A and B are shown apart, each in its own frame.
Chain A
Amino acid sequence: MSEEIRLMKGDEAIGEAAVRAGCKAYFGYPITPQNELTAYMAKHMLDKGRTFIQAESEVAAINMVYGAASTGARAMTSSSSPGISLKQEGISYLCGADLPCVIVNVARSGPGLGGISPSQGDYFQSTRGGGHGDYHTIVLAPKSVQEAADLTYEAFSISERYRIPVLVLADGLIGQMMEGVVFKDEIDPASLPPEPFAVGHQAETGRPNRHVTSINLVPEELEKQNIVRFERYGQVKKELTRYEEVQVEDADLVLVAYGTAARVCLGALQDARRKGLKVGLFRPITLWPFPDAAIGRLAGKGSRFLSVEMSMGQMVEDVRLAVNGRAPVDFYGRCGGMVPSEEEVLAEIERILGKRS
């Protein structure tokens, strides 16, 4: 039944996936290029008896998420880069209170108001926590409408498993383009087990009152709390790190790219292979945890690397950390809403491999 292929915009597919994942509460605010997602939720949450609110600001929306998540509901918000910046305070508090939720960033170009065209300039913000304090969010980076739907669907259960907010980092191109998509089965929110931290229903169960907070003024206790959280991050690194490899085994040069840039790189790879150049592609799917061990393994085999990004060079720093001096790491990027072309990437591949021979 759910095998039906639907032609949908990325933004709408993310919305449908969230509805099917049993998202019980969604809080949005207008910003391009994710407006179709908010509109989709407005239409489909209400008719399922669930919550949709267009908040008065992104700050309000993320704090509404905190409130809904505190009750154990699957809660979500979405925005685009400038709006995600506004949410950072709330995300830090969510992480401090160990509350699960899903945040979607259909990223656009910056800094500041920037433009509404796609960009990967939010990599640092996404993978380094983004707000104040010692924390991480889990970051999933889809490359297609299908993957955006699948990762959003899964994001809810991942977030609950580890009690860490999950950030789905798409970009304006994935949000706006239409592709065929097959959805997973619908989960009824009522069928989900109650969360052990949730407020509400106290009278029925007679349990002690719960206190959802991120504050701890006792340094010894707060340190311990953070250490425990980082032990959980260690577990996430072990269990969740994901990536896709294409023809890396014999590659002299491995392109490292995620999301939209990885699609461009796949085309460049095919062109390069036709020219007899041994090029591979390494595509991180989790940006945090970053698949550094897998990249390290390729570095050990003698491949060199080219990080291709829609930014001035952000993920390239993680690639260099993973490679740890064992191989040269180059960078090619476009920014400000420009998407690199396959030809540009191919020219860069030829320049690097030509230089080497």
Chain B
Amino acid sequence: MAEFLDYFRKERLPHIWCPGCGHGTVTGALVRAIDRLGLDKNNIVLVSGIGCSSRAVGYLDFDTLHTTHGRAIAFATGVKLARPDLKVIVMTGDGDCAAIGGNHFIHAARRNIDITTIIMNNSIYGMTSGQYSPTTPHGMFATTAPYGNVEYEFDLCELAKAAGATYVARATSYHVTLLTDLIEQAIMNKGFSVVEAMTQCPTYFGRKNKIGGPVETLNWIKDRTVNVKAASSLPPEKLQGKMLIGELYKAERPEYTASYMEMSAKVQRTYNDNFKYKGGDRGCELNSD
């Protein structure tokens, strides 16, 4: 039995997440998945952006990058291309990933670059005190939706799938065992993997929407989910307004860094061949192309 605290920067604890927040549960699931896979934590780089979710990497004792709002995936792309041998994991939130970072998210999926993205989706901007996010359900309240959210929410898993991700799954901070299993699968997938972890924000989302405290907010999330395996045998009316959880999509497609290295190797050969007749190393005079 491993000591899970060894995965944490103990001097940074206790964390600053609110009492009853689900982000710790998701972080715990990630650590358990890494532990179960027996991965060397020194070969893993964790990257995050800005928001409550992004605090996670500060608490975890891996090599970590805490970057700009929304663009963790772009930074992670840089890490992965410079060191394709490393496992790169992005920890992000719904505002971070789907609003300001939406473009980076879909383009990483399109490239199918080997990065695992864990989205802690609490349907609200928690760190900035409760504005609506791209995943706040229509009609729900937030500090910037005082009359109810006029916009409609993204289905991030459908988005990831449509954009080209090769592993897409969803669980919640209630379904912790499932969440850990899915993160494990996501890390092992050679390509862009997305695990959407629905988590509770009792402080802003729960309170603003009069759902109640942590338990009620967690139950509210749980009640909105149906396991994808059970869903196939349920009538459509039972699936109305429900989010599917479980492994939602898996595909085989060339991975970006592998394709890149392959092409690079090919191009290098051609290049050297072309200049061979000049003899020896390329001189400065040949650098004008």
28 A-B pairs with C-beta separation under 8 A: A29-B100, A30-B129, A30-B131, A32-B127, A32-B129, A35-B128, A35-B129, A35-B143, A39-B146, A42-B143, A42-B144, A43-B146, A46-B146, A52-B144, A54-B131, A54-B132, A54-B145, A56-B99, A56-B100, A56-B102, A57-B70, A57-B99, A57-B100, A58-B100, A59-B100, A82-B69, A113-B66, A113-B68
Q: Is the CB of A46 within 8 A of B147?
A: yes
B50 to chain A, nearest CB (A): 7
**B contact residues vs A (CB 8 Å cutoff):** 50, 66, 68-70, 95, 99-100, 102, 125, 127-129, 131-132, 134, 143-147
In the complex formed, the residue of A with least CB distance to B149 is A54
Question: Given known contacts A38-B131, A56-B102, is B144 in contact with A113 (CB within 8 Å)?
Answer: no
Question: Given known contacts A32-B127, A32-B128, is B145 in contact with A42 (CB within 8 Å)?
Answer: yes
The SS class assigned to the B binding surface is loop
Q: Which residues of chain A are near B131, meaning CB under 8 Å?
A: 30, 35, 38-39, 54
Q: Which residues of chain A are near B146, meaning CB under 8 Å?
A: 39, 42-43, 46
Q: Which residues of chain B are near A30, meaning CB under 8 Å?
A: 95, 125, 127-129, 131, 144
Q: Which residues of chain B are near A31, meaning CB under 8 Å?
A: 128
In the complex formed, the residue of B with least CB distance to A80 is B128
A175 to chain B, nearest CB (A): 13
Rounded to whole angstroms, the CA-CA distance of A39 and B95 in the bound complex is: 16
Q: Is the CB of A39 within 8 A of B143?
A: yes
A28 touches B (CB below 8 Å): yes
Q: Which residues of chain B are near A54, meaning CB under 8 Å?
A: 131-132, 144-145
Rounded to whole angstroms, the CA-CA distance of A46 and B50 in the bound complex is: 29
**A contact residues vs B (CB 8 Å cutoff):** 28-32, 35, 38-39, 42-43, 46, 52, 54, 56-59, 82, 113
Q: Which residues of chain A are near B134, meaning CB under 8 Å?
A: 56
Rounded to whole angstroms, the CA-CA distance of A78 and B69 in the bound complex is: 17
Most chain B Cβ neighbours within 10 Å, of A30, A58, A59, A82: A30
B176 to chain A, nearest CB (A): 29
In the complex formed, the residue of B with least CB distance to A42 is B144
Rounded to whole angstroms, the CA-CA distance of A28 and B132 in the bound complex is: 12
Rounded to whole angstroms, the CA-CA distance of A216 and B168 in the bound complex is: 46
Q: Which residues of chain A are near B125, meaning CB under 8 Å?
A: 30
Most chain B Cβ neighbours within 10 Å, of A46, A54, A57, A59: A54
Rounded to whole angstroms, the CA-CA distance of A39 and B40 in the bound complex is: 45
B163 to chain A, nearest CB (A): 16
Q: Which residues of chain A are near B132, meaning CB under 8 Å?
A: 54
Rounded to whole angstroms, the CA-CA distance of A43 and B134 in the bound complex is: 19
Rounded to whole angstroms, the CA-CA distance of A57 and B71 in the bound complex is: 11
B240 to chain A, nearest CB (A): 28
In the complex formed, the residue of B with least CB distance to A85 is B68
B261 to chain A, nearest CB (A): 32
Rounded to whole angstroms, the CA-CA distance of A32 and B129 in the bound complex is: 9
In the complex formed, the residue of A with least CB distance to B69 is A82
Q: Which residues of chain B are near A46, meaning CB under 8 Å?
A: 146-147
Closest CB pairs A-B (n = 4): A30-B128, A57-B100, A42-B144, A39-B143
Q: Which residues of chain A are near B70, meaning CB under 8 Å?
A: 57
Rounded to whole angstroms, the CA-CA distance of A347 and B134 in the bound complex is: 51
Rounded to whole angstroms, the CA-CA distance of A280 and B170 in the bound complex is: 64
In the complex formed, the residue of A with least CB distance to B54 is A113
Q: Which residues of chain A are near B50, meaning CB under 8 Å?
A: 113
Known: A30-B128, A31-B128. 17 other contacts (CB 8 A): A29-B99, A30-B129, A30-B144, A35-B131, A35-B143, A38-B131, A38-B144, A39-B131, A39-B146, A42-B145, A42-B146, A43-B146, A52-B144, A54-B131, A54-B144, A56-B102, A58-B100
Q: Which residues of chain A are near B128, meaning CB under 8 Å?
A: 30-32, 35
Most chain A Cβ neighbours within 10 Å, of B125, B146, B147: B146
B122 to chain A, nearest CB (A): 14
Rounded to whole angstroms, the CA-CA distance of A39 and B142 in the bound complex is: 9
Rounded to whole angstroms, the CA-CA distance of A30 and B147 in the bound complex is: 18
In the complex formed, the residue of A with least CB distance to B129 is A35
Rounded to whole angstroms, the CA-CA distance of A30 and B134 in the bound complex is: 13
Rounded to whole angstroms, the CA-CA distance of A54 and B125 in the bound complex is: 12
Q: Which residues of chain B are near A52, meaning CB under 8 Å?
A: 144
Q: Is the CB of B144 within 8 A of A28?
A: yes
Rounded to whole angstroms, the CA-CA distance of A28 and B146 in the bound complex is: 15
Rounded to whole angstroms, the CA-CA distance of A28 and B68 in the bound complex is: 18
Q: Which residues of chain B are near A82, meaning CB under 8 Å?
A: 68-69
